[in-house]
C-alpha cells in the first residue's frame, strides 16, 4: 500500500509539472502592452530612455508587446483597451502602456509608475497580457534580451495579398494654425531685429569732427547717453523674464515633467525633441546662462570705469546677437521641423529680440556721443 501511494504521488507531481502553463520551478513573468507612434516624441522618450534600463534589470521576466500606431491590429486592440479600462477622451493618446489592471498614459506616468508595478506583479507571481481584441496577431514582442527600439517595429513592405492597414488607434497631433502663426510672427520679428541692430550700430560711428570737442564745448559725460537712456531699464526686466522662462524649461527637462503649455502649441513635444539639447546640454539651461550674462553685463557697464564699461557694453550686444540668432534657429525648427510650437520658447525669443534692440540703441547713442 505504501509503495502504491508513493507511485501515485510521484505520478501526480509529474503530471502537474508537465501540465501546460505550469509555473512550478519557473520565474514569474510580467507582460505589458505599449501603444506608440513613430511621430510621437513622448513615445521615443519612453522607448529610448525609460524602457532600456527596465529591460536590462528584469531581463526575460518583463515581456513587452509594442503596437505601433497604424499597424494592422493596433487600432482594434486600442479600441478594446479604451473599452476595457473605460479611458476618458482626455486620456486617450500615446504613449499608453497596459500592465495588469493598470493603464499608464504619457511620458510622465510610465517612468514614475512602471518599475513599481513590475515589482508588485513579480511578487504576486507575474501577470499575463490583458485580454485585448486582436492582440495575439498584432505588435512585436520585446523581451529583456532584445533592444527596445523603434527599429524593431519596422513595417514590412505590403504585398497584394496583405490586408489594408487599419485606421490609426490614436490620431497623431495635427498642426496648430494659431501656434504656427505666432511662431511665424516671432520669426519675422527676429529676422528684422537681427538685420536692423548691427546696421544701426555700424552707422552710428562718430564723425571726425566729433572725436575731439571744441575748446568752448563742454564735453558730454562719458557714457551719459547709455546710462540715462529712457528705456534702458527694460533690459534687466526682460532678462529676468527670460531667466524665469529658461529656468522653468530647464527644470521640466531635467525632471522629465510635463510642461504647462496652455491651449496653444505643444511644449512637451518641443521639450522631448532632439533639438532641445545641444551636445547633451539642455538648450534651456544654456539660455538661462545667457540671460545671467546679460544681467551681469548690464550692471557692470553702469558701475565700472568707462574703459571696462565699454567692453561690457560691446559684450552685451554681442551676447544678445548670438542669443537672438540662436532663438531664430530654434523658432524656425518648431513649425517646420519638429511640427510643434512652444509658447515658452517664443516668449524667450521675444525677450532676446527686445534685449538686442535695446542694447543696440544704447550702443548707438554711446558711439555717437561727442567727446567719448
Domains of the chain as residue ranges with CATH: 27-153 (3.40.30.10), 177-202+222-368 (1.20.1440.130)
Confidence of residue 214 (pLDDT cuts 50, 70, 90): very low
State pLDDT tens for residues 45-63: 888 888 999 988 888 889 9
Average pLDDT, integer, range 285-292 = 92
d(CA 106, CA 24): 36
Q: Which three cell numbers stand for residue 142?
A: 520585446
Average pLDDT, integer, range 175-200 = 86
Identify any residues that bridge with 98 across adjacent strands, giving them in sequence order.
Answer: 33, 103
Average pLDDT, integer, range 21-26 = 46
Task: Please indicate whether residue 179 or residue 162 has the higher confidence score (pLDDT).
Answer: 179
Three-state secondary structure of the chain: CHHHHHHHHHHHHHHHHHCCCCCCCCCCCEEEEEEECCCCHHHHHHHHHHHHHHHHHHHHHEEEEEEECCCCCHHHHHHHHHHHHCCCHHHCCCCEEEECCEEEEHHHHHHHHHHHHHHHHHHCCCECCCCCCCCCCCCEEECCCCCCCHHHHCCCCCCCCCCCCCCCCCCCCCCCHHHHHHHHHHHHHHHHHHHHHHHHHHCCCCCHHHHCCCCCCCCCCCCHHHHCCCCCCHHHHHHHHHHHHHHHHHHHHHHCCCCCCCCCCCHHHHHCCHHHEECCEEHHHHHHHHHHHHHHHHHHHHHCCHHHHHHHHHHHHHHHHHHHHHHHHHHHHHHHHHCCCCHHHHHHHHHHHHHHHHHHHHHHHHHHCCCC
**How big is the CA angle at 37 (ends 34 and 43), to the nearest 5 degrees?**
65
Q: Which of 22-26, 142-146, 204-208, 342-346 has the highest mean pLDDT?
A: 342-346
Confidence of residue 137 (pLDDT cuts 50, 70, 90): low
Average pLDDT, integer, range 271-284 = 83
Q: What pLDDT sits at residue 3?
A: 58
| Cβ proximity of 326 and 349 under 8 Å | no
C-alpha distances (whole Å) from 50 to each of 44, 104, 105, 253 are 9, 13, 14, 14
State pLDDT tens for residues 104-120: 988 788 888 899 999 99
Range of weakest confidence among 92-101, 114-123, 194-203, 224-233: 224-233
Q: What pLDDT sits at residue 351?
A: 93
Confidence of residue 14 (pLDDT cuts 50, 70, 90): very low
State pLDDT tens for residues 315-356: 888 999 999 999 999 999 888 888 888 889 999 999 999 999
Average pLDDT, integer, range 68-85 = 82
Q: Is the pLDDT of residue 173 over 60?
A: no
Within 10 Å of residue 160's Cβ, how many Cβ atoms?
4
Note if the pTM is more than 0.85.
no
Amino acid at each position: 500500500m505504501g509503495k502504491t501511494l508513493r507511485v501515485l504521488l510521484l505520478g501526480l507531481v509529474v503530471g502537474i509539472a508537465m501540465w501546460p502553463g505550469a509555473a512550478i520551478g519557473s520565474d514569474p513573468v510580467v507582460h505589458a502592452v505599449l501603444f506608440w507612434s513613430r511621430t510621437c516624441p513622448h513615445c521615443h522618450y519612453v522607448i529610448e530612455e525609460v524602457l532600456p534600463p527596465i529591460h536590462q534589470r528584469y531581463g526575460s521576466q518583463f515581456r513587452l508587446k509594442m503596437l505601433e500606431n497604424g499597424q494592422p491590429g493596433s487600432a482594434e486592440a486600442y479600441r478594446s483597451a479604451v473599452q476595457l479600462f473605460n479611458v476618458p477622451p482626455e486620456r486617450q493618446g500615446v504613449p499608453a502602456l497596459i500592465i495588469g489592471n493598470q493603464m499608464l498614459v504619457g511620458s510622465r506616468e510610465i517612468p514614475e509608475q512602471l518599475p513599481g508595478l513590475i515589482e508588485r506583479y513579480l511578487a504576486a507571481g507575474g501577470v499575463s497580457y490583458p485580454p485585448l481584441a486582436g492582440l495575439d496577431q498584432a505588435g512585436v514582442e520585446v523581451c529583456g534580451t532584445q533592444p527596445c527600439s523603434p527599429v524593431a517595429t519596422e513595417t514590412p513592405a505590403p504585398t497584394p495579398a496583405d490586408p489594408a492597414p487599419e485606421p490609426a488607434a490614436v490620431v497623431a497631433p495635427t498642426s496648430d494654425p494659431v501656434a504656427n502663426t505666432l511662431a511665424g510672427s516671432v520669426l519675422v520679428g527676429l529676422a528684422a531685429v537681427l538685420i536692423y541692430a548691427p546696421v544701426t550700430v555700424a552707422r552710428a560711428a562718430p564723425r571726425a569732427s566729433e572725436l575731439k570737442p571744441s575748446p568752448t564745448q563742454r564735453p558730454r559725460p562719458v557714457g551719459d547717453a547709455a546710462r540715462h537712456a529712457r528705456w534702458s531699464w527694460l533690459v534687466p526686466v526682460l532678462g529676468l523674464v527670460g531667466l524665469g522662462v529658461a529656468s522653468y524649461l530647464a527644470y521640466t527637462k531635467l525632471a522629465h515633467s510635463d510642461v504647462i503649455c496652455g491651449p496653444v502649441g505643444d511644449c512637451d513635444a518641443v521639450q522631448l525633441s532632439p533639438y532641445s539639447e545641444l551636445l547633451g546640454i539642455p538648450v534651456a539651461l544654456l539660455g538661462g546662462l545667457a540671460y545671467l550674462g546679460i544681467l551681469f553685463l548690464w550692471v557692470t557697464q553702469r558701475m565700472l570705469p568707462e574703459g571696462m564699461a565699454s567692453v561690457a557694453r560691446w559684450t552685451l550686444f554681442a551676447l544678445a546677437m548670438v542669443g537672438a540668432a540662436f532663438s531664430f534657429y530654434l523658432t524656425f525648427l518648431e513649425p517646420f521641423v519638429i511640427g510643434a510650437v512652444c509658447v515658452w520658447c517664443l516668449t524667450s525669443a521675444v525677450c532676446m529680440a527686445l534685449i538686442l534692440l535695446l542694447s543696440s540703441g544704447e550702443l548707438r547713442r554711446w558711439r555717437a556721443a561727442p567727446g567719448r
